[in-house]
Structure 1
């Protein structure tokens, strides 16, 4: 059986040559994990047709030594990753820099080597976009665990518990039953739920409060991501009305998704269905999932964000419309989906 890393490196080699450079460098853990299986701190330096270099320090050498088909370079005391990298190659080459490559590293390379650097923020993002069968299996497990842990925590809610305490419970359960959280959980009670990226506070839970929980866990490096919104111990007719409106809009968006459909279509459908309420939908409809919590594709009506502008086989993504009313609260409904064997499947419950 061909190693998945060999296949991924071959894709990267093809893209490097197609785009006119000679190599690739990245400090992204997602890039290193995807291309070699290394999950420690350091950098990857890749030249087509060669084994990738992993440059790291003594803390991660034991892990790196277990990997096959890499060139391991251990940083000597007093030298950093970039200084070590600059001493590896003694000829001028042009390099693509991976996503979020540190500016200070780029400046050091420019001042201390003859390498040419070019931004390629989307390079590995595009390569990682379409997930393999093996990756989809891992993402399904991450989605399943995210849901299981959510419902376990929901059953433990009681009046007087704080947002911070619930967030801590999610983290604890995720460490016990998964590989930790995909991101810091969002737990918002009452009017706080109108803030999409709210940070949990010491606010206590009361009867008939809106509860919004946005969370996800990791499994073998892959991320799950769900949001559930509900009323705690009671009913609220206005909440029910707004929830139903959002739910119906979401269902119409989901039914529009298929291979080769433009990524901008589902969000446009949601906004059209919401009508005047669309002004309270203040973010994009969804995002890709993988080794990072936000990956390609981006489900937004601004189609220029995506290099490949249509849904494709192997896409794994969230659908998460929301309505946010300052002073009242917010509602977000988020699930994870995959296009597998040409079929759109929901992988959360």
Structure 2
């Protein structure tokens, strides 16, 4: 899909919302619509013009990346672009209500243009991945799995969470990632009961569980992968909990298909965990969309609205967390296909026992 086609779809959605133009200020959405990945700028899309506003630090980059856009150098991106809209007599300009503060919107409204808030307009387009996006995500997933294996190969008594996180980060970059999708989550022992634990100086001892939640990015697109391993032989309780989580993930994956409610996928996983007596230990949603951002629509939770569509990419990541003891999470990045799903992360989901 070309930048031009994406912008045409965006304008069509804007027209449905009563807008004759769009002001895009969220950096990820600017990138999605024109290719510019600088951290400062905004994009105006009208039926006749596409104008990218940025400051002097990024003008050259904008000219290289956003080749089919006019580039305007300014420090006041929104004001400059809304002045263009006003001069073109555009009646109503849609702004990104989810990414514009109250004060920013108030200031925009003083610039002589009718500015109305839209919600999720570009994000809804981003949920459907094209072939180039899927290629980047596949590469990111493959690279993430290789970097995780390099990390697990380094597991030994005495190594710390922080050291393992550094090993993953270094391996991912060495393998060709253009960045990390998020800071690695490496949780040892009792810390594995904290879903988003920040790696610290907890050192590994025999019998510890290690929860790894990691992801690299390629072409700006993210991967997300969680595996739970144990140093030495696992306890019967750990084997049982891992089996419950594995069955919950399998049930959720089996339910994936276009038209299925996002909340139904969450319920499939939750039912398995509840039946095993751990309902109150599954303390987050079953998954989320990902792409240019690590967390993006759709969310797969109990209160999630909407349905899945073909070419959506989501995670399936049920977990059980026992405070003071540890936890288990199994997560894969999955593509929704016309008749089900394809897992883009393909490594073993078994409870891996690492020899000491």
CA contact (8 A) 1:16 1:22 kept: yes
Q: TM-score, normalised by structure 1?
A: 0.91
Change (3 A) 1:172 1:271: same
Partner of 1:43: 41
CA contact (8 A) 1:281 1:321 kept: yes
Residue 84 (1) aligns with residue 83 (2) = no
CA RMSD across the alignment: 1.8
Partner of 1:233: 232
Partner of 1:346: 343
CA contact (8 A) 2:141 2:345 kept: yes
CA contact (8 A) 1:82 1:105 kept: no
Change (3 A) 1:264 1:229: same
Residue 278 (1) aligns with residue 251 (2) = no
Q: Secondary structure at the match of 1:314?
A: coil
Change (3 A) 1:273 1:340: closer
Q: Secondary structure at the match of 2:81?
A: helix
Q: How does 1:8-157 map to 2 (within 5 A)?
A: 8-66=6-64, 67-75=66-74, 79-91=75-87, 93-98=91-96, 99-111=98-110, 113-157=111-155
Change (3 A) 1:340 1:273: closer
Runs of 4+ in 1 over 6 A off after TM superposition: none
CA displacement at 1:145 relative to structure 2:
1.0
> 1:12, 1:230 → 2: CA distance?
44
Alignment gaps of 5+ in structure 2: 347-356
CA displacement at 1:293 relative to structure 2:
0.7
Q: TM-score, normalised by structure 2?
A: 0.90
- Say which is worse superposed, 9-18 or 162-171, in terms of deviation: 162-171
Q: Secondary structure at the match of 1:88?
A: helix
CA displacement at 1:107 relative to structure 2:
3.6
Alignment gaps of 5+ in structure 1: none
> 1:300, 1:214 → 2: CA distance?
19
Superposed CA offset, 1:48-69 (max 9, x none): 3233211112221112112321
CA displacement at 1:105 relative to structure 2:
3.0
CA displacement at 1:263 relative to structure 2:
1.7
Partner of 2:353: none
CA contact (8 A) 1:225 1:293 kept: yes
CA contact (8 A) 1:42 1:54 kept: no
CA contact (8 A) 2:30 2:43 kept: no
CA contact (8 A) 1:260 1:310 kept: yes
> 2:205, 2:114 → 1: CA distance?
59
